[in-house]
């Protein structure tokens, strides 16, 4: 049974602008022992490559999920979500999926797998929430998972290895929540760095931070379209990539994933695949090449070329991988007409969500105005625009 705190838990005094720490104090009547933050992300280039063991170049953004909480002496977890304005509770000895408070499943999954891996937790009271837009392709769920793992790590002094945290968070999403994502989102939410993008090899998980140049801004445009098709079509793409690997391998080269496929192999295997498989494979193989070049040109300061690669990535996602949509294409076309824009593409899984734009700093404000106006004129829809600051991940301090 839950103790007398439940009435406060069910009806916290929510104020605009109240911090998560203050909300915790109001809800549970004591200050939090621990406050941790995990950011959302935007992917600059390398889309639909992570589950093909390829390369990605995301950045963590200054939109965060914050957790605040305290230890309990028993094995109960009581949690309040400020975004959903709802509470849930569960017992660490019997963690089940919650079909009503689905927002709590990320935390449940992370807690369950920590326990399964032998980390015996004590209960906790906690509040979490933040400003990562939901269902917008900016990885709010990865931020919630990584935040949960970082919270337990700090609260109970678990001393977890950062890459273990990343894998744990992904496992919660894949095996508990049931969404078959790759590893990019959790990785960047945990290990992003302020003013840097992160170049990650999704096969061996080696990574390095690449400085973002001063004088350009990462501008994200939210189409406002919820990614309705995203999960089912994502699963179809996973399957098509697997099928393409099989077809290519059958023609000779010892390839285990699309990561291993060279253009030569792909062209040689063209006759063995139908047009759809060919285009899916062509996107992934070419996108991996674009990421490698993008890292090189970013490091050498050639932002024009970086922008062209972003543009090419969009074309490939639209025509070969077929994960864009009218709203994203409209935002991209509008963006490219604005002064000071170096590159524009859809970001994330697709079928709605956001575009990412590289814009010269002095042009960013006019860009935001012009694209918002143009989007409304073209489609009668409201876009939200965020000028982002690349930020530290949950496991990086200062």
Give catalytic residues, as residue numbers.
Answer: 185
Distance of CA 73 to the CA centre of its chain: 34
List beta partners, residue 64. Answer: 39
Query: Strands 124-130, 207-211: parallel, antiparallel or unpaired by DSSP?
Result: unpaired
Q: How many other C-beta atoms lie within 10 A of the C-beta of residue 39?
A: 32
Least CB distance to ligand GLA at residue 288 (A): 12
Q: Among residues 49, 20, 134, which one has the least CA distance to residue 349? A: 49
Cα dist from 133 to 62, 143, 144, 267, 329, whole Å: 12, 11, 12, 41, 20
In the complex, what is the shortest distance from the CB of residue 255 to ligand GLA, in angstroms, rounded to a whole number? Answer: 20
| Residue partners of 110: CB distance under 8 A and separation at least 6 | 145, 148, 149, 152, 168, 169, 172
- Cβ proximity to ligand GLA: between 34 and 202 the closer is 202
* Cβ-based neighbour number of residue 326 at 10 Å: 11
Cα 283 to the center of its chain, rounded Å: 20
Report which of 117, 197, 107 is spatially closest to residue 160, judged by C-alpha positions: 117
**Cβ nearer to ligand GLA, comparing 244 with 269:** 244
Tell me the β-bridge partners of 200: 56, 207
- Shortest Cβ distance from residue 188 to ligand GLA (Å)? 10
For residues 92 and 220, which CB has a smaller minimum distance to ligand GLA in the complex?
220
Task: Return the CA Rg of the chain.
Answer: 22
Can you spell out the DSSP letters for 59-110?
A: EEEEEEEEEEEEE-SSSEEEEEETTTTEEEEEETTB----SSSGGGHHHHHH
Q: Between β-strands 124-130 and 76-81, what pairing exists: parallel, antiparallel or unpaired?
A: parallel
| Smallest separation (angstroms) from ligand GLA to the CB of 150 | 19
Least distance from ligand GLA to the Cβ atom of residue 340, Å: 26
d(CA 355, CA 235) in angstroms, rounded, equals 22
Binding site for ligand GLA (CB under 6 A): 47-48, 50-51, 181-182, 184-185, 348-349
Per the DSSP assignment, residues forming a β-bridge with 38 are 65
39: nearest Cα among 167, 189, 191, 139: 189
CB 138 to ligand GLA: min, Å: 9
Burial of 253 (0-12, 13-18, 19+ CB in 10 A): middle
């Amino acid at each position: 049974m839950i103790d007398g705190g439940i009435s406060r838990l069910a009806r916290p005094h929510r104020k605009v602008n109240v911090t998560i720490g203050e909300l915790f104090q109001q809800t549970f009547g004591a200050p939090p022992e621990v406050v941790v933050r995990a950011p959302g992300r935007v992917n600059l280039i390398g889309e639909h490559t992570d589950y093909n063991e390829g390369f990605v170049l995301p950045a963590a953004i200054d939109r965060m999920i914050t957790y605040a909480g305290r230890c309990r002496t028993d094995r109960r977890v009581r949690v309040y979500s400020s975004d959903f304005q709802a509470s849930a509770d569960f017992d660490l000895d019997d963690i089940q999926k919650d079909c009503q408070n689905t927002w709590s499943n990320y935390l449940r999954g992370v807690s369950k797998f920590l326990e399964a891996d032998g980390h015996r937790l004590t209960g906790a009271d906690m509040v979490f929430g933040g400003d990562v837009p939901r269902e917008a392709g900016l990885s709010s769920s990865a931020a919630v998972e990584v935040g949960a793992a970082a919270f337990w790590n700090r609260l109970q002094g678990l001393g977890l290895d950062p890459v273990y945290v990343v894998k744990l968070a992904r496992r919660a999403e894949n095996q508990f929540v049931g969404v078959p994502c790759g590893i990019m989102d959790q990785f960047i939410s945990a290990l992003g760095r302020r003013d840097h993008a992160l170049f990650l090899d999704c096969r061996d998980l080696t990574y390095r931070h690449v400085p973002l140049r001063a004088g350009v801004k990462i501008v994200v445009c939210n189409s406002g379209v919820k990614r309705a098709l995203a999960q089912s079509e994502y699963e179809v793409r996973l399957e098509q990539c697997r099928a393409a690997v099989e077809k290519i391998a059958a023609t000779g080269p010892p390839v285990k994933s699309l990561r291993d496929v060279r253009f030569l192999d792909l062209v040689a295997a063209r006759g063995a695949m139908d047009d759809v498989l060919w285009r899916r494979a062509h996107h992934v193989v070419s996108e991996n090449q674009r990421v490698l070049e993008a890292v090189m040109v970013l490091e050498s300061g050639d932002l024009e070329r970086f922008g062209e690669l972003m543009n090419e990535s969009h074309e490939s996602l639209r025509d070969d991988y077929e994960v864009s949509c009218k709203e994203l294409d409209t935002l991209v076309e509008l963006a490219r007409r604005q002064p000071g824009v170096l590159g524009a593409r859809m970001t994330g899984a697709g079928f709605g969500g956001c575009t990412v734009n590289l814009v010269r700093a002095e042009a960013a404000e006019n860009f935001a105005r012009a694209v918002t106006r143009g989007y409304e004129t073209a489609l009668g829809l409201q876009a939200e625009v965020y000028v982002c600051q690349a930020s530290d991940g949950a496991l990086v301090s200062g």
